[in-house]
């Protein structure tokens, strides 16, 4: 079987209504309709496994909690489950609030109407809902009835219903309302719909205070939504005693336009909408009440339904229906507050940064690229907004780091880290979760543990052996402003433009060593010390900001307790004479220490980026070595390391590594000798 070449022979084009002076296109929706949730009836009847009493009960309680005041709870004549459930609602004290209407559905069959009415005995507010098909297709095929017979049956059943409900003082219900649905309204002759509804109205005799509900279902959605709106406008204009009528919509979603149909039809004059949460229902479903409500909300109209915790609603709906909410479902779908693609993430991130900077409160106007609704308003978190896969760019990655670690990465570091993330997503072939990205960052920039270097102790002092320094480069101006003489965390004010001396103990690959170096500030003094180790790094970029955090990362895995302020430092280094750039990150309560950590982080990355390269020089444990002074026999090796670009190829690197290992072995022998009573001098 294939699609027809000419489908017009089989499918007739829908003939639109001729109402040339239609008003609805220039109307707007400016009020909340009456909502009727039919999840427990129309939704339930379409499930593979309809809900049991317990599931219906829990679902009902959720609908009440959300704020629905009219709930179609069952088709009581269908069997014990629905009948007993209705009885349970009516007879369990406190379950149905006084302002909530229980609605039940019955076909136009007297014995079924009677049973239906019985199920409500004892309730406060009840809506009896009868339906009868009015479209020629249904009349002819299903019922074998013409218009006249349909009208007679509708009137007869309405009169019967009236006699056992509002006209019966012993009905056992405090307040009755009546709803009639000309089923397949969307495919019915509009004039006949008016005719049958006038007859039903006359049989029921509604009042302004207690209007009759004419529910006009698109039982099957058969046309574009504007046609449905025309049909509704036609009905609203032509039905008499409009003030005694509540015009209700019941759109199904066969063409995927149920939401649009419901919205245009409200513009056309409807007062009430029937639907289900997330659109469960026959075939393609009923109109989605969540979308309708939140569409209103994002137009500044509170829908009177509280979706503040949409996730728990989804949870109950999915468990009860045994159907997952589609990841792309408007508002509720898992993916609808997420952006994977780089340019979307970038725009959203910029949007949030701008909002934060402007000091906007939660109530202030929402202006956010790609996000029509503030996810927080429906209980969804910002963390979920940006998700990272191989389509993502630096903006999204930076956003995740901002949210998880409170770090504002400089642009260059964003680019560098996003390459690391990209490599990982390409390798894994899947999305990376925020925590995985955070862990990747912590590992890449050694926030928990620097694999090669550890700052054990240090002292920054004025280097009195040298003359005042020339004007400092960018990062050192920053250092100069800090101008601290620091021992551990203690700082004292010092004079400007004096050279600094770093003296300290650095752990290198597990062994502690005394090192020293000088520079225009603490950072460059450490850089000087590293240079003496053969790691010649120039600082090309330096950024720093403070972070207020509760707990979180510190170097060496220390957890900061309580709320405290820390400094985050980002340093980009170039290896002298090479194009290679590496970033280092440091976090510490002390700003100087934070920058020293950042440099050691960069140094570690620099070495690690050169495969299997050990630290060029490894003095013995406990040796005190002033590396400002060239150690005997060290210089050639160090020079080789400095001068050996990674591009020299594996052979060159291997040779170099062999030399280094030889040197290490020599040192170990020396160390053993020293331990056995040697002088320990290098
Ligand atoms: C558009 C809608 O969603 S309408 C709601 C549909 N929901 C349900 O049907 C769920 C509950 N239904 C049921 O439990 C059963 O179908 C019952 C109890 C209503 C009827 O069961 P049965 O008597 O076994 O009939 P069955 O289901 O086989 O067929 C439906 C019958 O009702 C008739 N019928 C259908 N709609 C209506 C109506 N609105 N008014 C009167 N009769 C109707 C059909 O013509 C058919 O009659 P027939 O047996 O004389 O041909
Ligand atoms: C009973 C009616 C309202 C119905 O469910 C429909 O037409 O879809």
pLDDT of residue 437: 95
Percent of the chain whose predicted confidence (pLDDT) is above 90: 70
pLDDT > 90? residue 556: no
Instruction: Please determine, for the modelled complex, whether the ipTM score is greater than 0.90.
Output: yes
Q: What is the pLDDT of residues 183-223, one digit of tens each?
A: 999 999 999 999 999 999 999 999 999 999 999 999 999 99
Ligand at shortest distance from the CA of 215: 2
What residue's CA is closest to ligand 1, atom 8?
Answer: 45
Q: What DSSP letter does each residue of 435-483 carry, written as one string?
A: HHHHHHHHHHTTSS--SSEEEEEEEEEE-TTSPPPPPP-HHHHHHHHH-
Confidence band of 658 (pLDDT split at 50, 70, 90): very low
State mean pLDDT over 595-617: 77
Confidence band of 551 (pLDDT split at 50, 70, 90): low
Of 472 and 622, the one with more pLDDT: 472
Ligand at shortest distance from the CA of 109: 1
Confidence band of 534 (pLDDT split at 50, 70, 90): confident
pLDDT of residue 642: 38
The first and second tokens of residue 590, run together, are 């002390």
Q: What is the pLDDT of residues 337-354, one digit of tens each?
A: 888 888 888 899 899 989
CA 502 to centroid of ligand 2, rounded, Å = 82
Which residues have C-beta atoms less than 6 Å from ligand 2?
42, 105, 131, 181, 183, 215, 217, 219, 250, 252
Which residues have C-beta atoms less than 6 Å from ligand 1?
42, 45, 75, 77-78, 107-109, 131-132, 142-143, 183, 219
What residue's CA is closest to ligand 1, atom 16?
Answer: 78
pLDDT > 90? residue 313: yes
Distances from the Cα of 622 to the Cαs of 503, 518, 593, 638, 679, in angstroms? Answer: 15, 22, 23, 21, 12
pLDDT > 80? residue 460: yes
What residue's CA is closest to ligand 2, atom 5?
Answer: 42
Percent of the chain whose predicted confidence (pLDDT) is above 70: 82
Ligand at shortest distance from the CA of 250: 2
Confidence band of 563 (pLDDT split at 50, 70, 90): low
Residue pair 309/358 in contact by the 8 Å Cβ criterion: no
The first and second tokens of residue 396, run together, are 């999204």
End-to-end CA distance of the chain: 89
Residue pair 214/248 in contact by the 8 Å Cβ criterion: yes
Q: State pTM to two decimals.
A: 0.77
Contacts of 541 (CB under 8 A, 6+ apart): 410, 412, 474, 475, 570, 571, 572
State mean pLDDT over 543-547: 95
Rounded distance, CA 126 to CA 73, Å?
11
CA 531 to centroid of ligand 1, rounded, Å = 88
pLDDT > 70? residue 485: no
Rounded distance, CA 550 to CA 559, Å?
9
Residue appearing with tokens 């001098």: 681
pLDDT of residue 93: 97
Question: Which has the minimum average pLDDT: 203-212, 311-320, 509-518, 561-570?
Answer: 561-570
Coil vs helix vs strand at 274? strand
Rounded distance, CA 531 to CA 542, Å?
18
Strands 272-275 and 245-251: parallel
State mean pLDDT over 462-485: 54
| Most confident region among 92-106, 369-383, 419-433 by mean pLDDT | 92-106
Strands 272-275 and 453-462: unpaired
What residue's CA is closest to ligand 2, atom 7?
Answer: 219
State mean pLDDT over 511-516: 88
Q: Which atom of ligand 2 is nearest to the CA of 185?
A: 7
Provide long-range contacts, Cβ within 8 A and 24+ apart, for 80-89. 81/50, 81/52, 81/53, 82/119, 83/115, 83/119, 84/53, 85/40, 85/53, 85/56, 85/57, 86/119, 86/120, 87/119, 88/53, 88/57, 89/57, 89/60, 89/123
Tell me the CB-side half-sphere exposure of residue 43, using CA atoms within 13 A. 28
Question: Which has the minimum average pLDDT: 331-340, 491-500, 508-517, 544-553?
Answer: 491-500
Residue pair 397/418 in contact by the 8 Å Cβ criterion: yes
Q: Which atom of ligand 2 is nearest to the CA of 41?
A: 5
Q: Which atom of ligand 2 is nearest to the CA of 129?
A: 1
pLDDT of residue 67: 98
CA 357 to centroid of ligand 2, rounded, Å = 51
Confidence band of 575 (pLDDT split at 50, 70, 90): confident
Rounded distance, CA 274 to CA 185, Å?
14
Instruction: Round the average pLDDT of the chain to a whole number and report it.
Output: 85
Q: What is the H or E stretch that residue 156 is in?
A: helix 147-164
Q: What is the pLDDT of residues 121-152, one digit of tens each?
A: 999 999 999 999 999 999 999 999 999 999 99
Q: Which atom of ligand 2 is nearest to the CA of 274?
A: 3
CA 277 to centroid of ligand 2, rounded, Å = 16
pLDDT > 80? residue 593: yes
Rg (CA), the chain: 38
CA 215 to centroid of ligand 1, rounded, Å = 18
């Amino acid at each position: 079987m294939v699609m027809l070449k000419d489908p017009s022979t089989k499918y007739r084009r829908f003939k639109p209504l001729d109402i040339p002076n239609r008003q609805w296109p220039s109307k707007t929706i400016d009020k909340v309709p009456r909502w009727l949730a039919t999840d427990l009836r129309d939704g339930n009847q379409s499930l593979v496994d309809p809900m049991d009493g317990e599931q219906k009960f829990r679902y009902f309680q959720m609908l009440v909690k959300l704020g629905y005041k009219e709930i179609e709870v069952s088709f009581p004549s269908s069997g014990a489950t629905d009948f007993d459930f209705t009885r349970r609602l009516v007879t369990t004290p406190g379950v149905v609030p006084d302002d909530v209407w229980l609605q039940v559905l019955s076909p136009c069959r007297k014995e079924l109407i009677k049973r239906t009415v019985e199920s409500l005995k004892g309730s406060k507010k009840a809506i009896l809902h009868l339906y009868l098909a009015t479209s020629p297709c249904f009349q002819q095929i299903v019922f074998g009835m013409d218009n006249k017979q349909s009208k007679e049956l509708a009137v007869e059943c309405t009169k019967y219903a009236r006699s056992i409900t509002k006209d019966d003082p012993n009905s056992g219900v405090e307040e009755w309302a009546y709803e009639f649905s000309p089923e397949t309204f969307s495919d019915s002759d509009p004039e006949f719909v008016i005719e049958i509804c006038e007859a039903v109205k006359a049989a029921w005799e509604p009042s302004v205070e207690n209007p009759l509900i004419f529910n006009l279902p698109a039982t099957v959605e058969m046309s574009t939504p504007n046609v449905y709106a025309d049909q509704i406008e036609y009905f609203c204009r032509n039905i008499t005693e409009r003030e005694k009528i509540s015009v209700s919509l019941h759109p199904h979603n066969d063409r995927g336009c149920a939401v649009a149909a419901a919205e245009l039809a409200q513009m056309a004059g409807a007062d009430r909408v029937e639907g289900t949460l997330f659109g469960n229902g026959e075939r393609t479903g009923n109109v989605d009440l969540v979308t309708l409500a939140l569409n209103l909300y994002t137009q500044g109209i509170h829908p009177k339904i509280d979706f503040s915790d949409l996730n728990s609603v989804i949870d109950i709906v999915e468990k009860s229906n045994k159907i997952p909410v589609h990841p792309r479902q408007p508002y509720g779908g898992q993916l609808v507050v997420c952006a994977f693609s780089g340019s979307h993430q970038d725009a959203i991130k910029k949007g949030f940064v701008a909002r934060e900077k402007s000091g906007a409160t939660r109530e202030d106007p929402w202006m956010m690229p790609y996000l029509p609704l503030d996810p927080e308003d429906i209980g969804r978190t910002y963390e979920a907004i940006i998700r990272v896969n191989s389509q993502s760019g630096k903006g999204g990655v930076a956003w995740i780091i901002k949210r998880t670690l409170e770090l504002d990465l400089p642009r260059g570091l964003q680019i560098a880290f996003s390459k690391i993330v990209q490599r990982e997503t390409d390798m894994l072939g899947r999305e990376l979760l925020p925590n995985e990205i955070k862990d990747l960052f912590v590992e890449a920039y050694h926030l928990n543990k620097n694999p090669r270097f550890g700052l054990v102790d240090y002292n920054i002092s004025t280097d009195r052996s040298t003359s005042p320094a020339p004007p400092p480069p960018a990062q050192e101006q920053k250092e100069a402003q800090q101008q601290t003489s620091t021992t551990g965390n203690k700082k004292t004010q010092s004079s400007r433009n004096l050279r600094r001396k770093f003296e300290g103990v650095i752990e290198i690959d597990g062994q502690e060593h005394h090192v020293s170096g000088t520079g225009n500030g603490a950072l460059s003094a450490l850089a000087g010390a590293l240079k003496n180790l053969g790691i010649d790094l120039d600082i090309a970029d330096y950024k720093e900001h403070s972070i207020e955090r509760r707990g979180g990362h510190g170097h060496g895995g220390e957890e900061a307790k309580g709320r405290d302020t820390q400094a985050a430092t980002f340093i980009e280094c170039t290896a002298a004479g090479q194009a290679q750039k590496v970033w280092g990150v440091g976090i510490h309560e002390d700003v100087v220490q934070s920058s020293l950590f950042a440099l050691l982080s960069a140094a570690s990355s620099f070495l690690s980026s050169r495969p299997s390269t050990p630290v060029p020089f490894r003095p013995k444990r406990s040796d005190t070595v002033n590396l400002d002074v060239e150690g005997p026999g060290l210089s050639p090796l160090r020079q080789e390391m400095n001068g050996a670009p990674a591009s020299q190829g594996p052979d060159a690197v291997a040779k170099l590594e062999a030399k280094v290992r030889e040197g290490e072995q020599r040192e170990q022998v020396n160390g053993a000798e020293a331990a056995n009573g040697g002088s320990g001098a290098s």
